Structure 1
């Protein structure tokens, strides 16, 4: 039995980071550097905490870990870094 109850958290952050990336690519005036850094850092931090806690829960309940959640966490971290990088490149150019 796998512990999959934190997958929606990862999916919400992936969706939020994709929307944030799309609005920064569209050069929206509603998005500034603090918004991009803040949302990206918050998403990466909460994802790390959720992944850590799911590991503790899985260990305590003798359940199997969920590798899809790990890949979702990696994608959240990648999108966080990518959003900051893209926003920085757009501001310079």
Structure 2
């Protein structure tokens, strides 16, 4: 039915999964930057909060549009994208908390 077979796997629309994975990887790298002592100097509060907010907003819109596409195509919903969104949400909440806890202790020079 589609040009590429990778859009659908077992009746589930999977085209947007790589974008969710990209957000997860970006949030994980942000967590590493916050926690690794050599990279802490490069992290600023505005960038940590901004990247966390942008990733939550963009991934929630992506999840919403994924649901619309799935509904219009008559395919089954993808549980994996919902779980990936929840992982992004958890990373985006934890990253600023860890950043401010470490900076409160005086371990981050900004």
Question: Structure 1-normalised TM-score?
Answer: 0.96
- Counterpart check, 1:8 vs 2:18: yes
Q: Which of structure 1's runs of 4+ aligned residues deviate more than 4 A?
A: none
- Number of aligned residues: 93
Asked which structure has the greater RCO (Cα within 8 Å, sep 6+), the reply is 1
* Correspondence for 1:29 among 36, 41, 63: 41
Cα distance in 1, alignment partners of residues 26 and 14 from structure 2: 20
Question: Structure 2-normalised TM-score?
Answer: 0.82
> Residue by residue, what CA displacement relative to the aligned partner does 1:16-60 show, whole Å, maximum 9, x if unpaired?
111111111124211100110111111101100000001111111
User: Structure 1: 5+ residue runs without aligned partners?
Assistant: none
In the other structure, the counterpart of 1:53 is: 65
Please identify which structure carries the higher helix content: 1
Aligned Cα root-mean-square deviation (Å) = 0.8
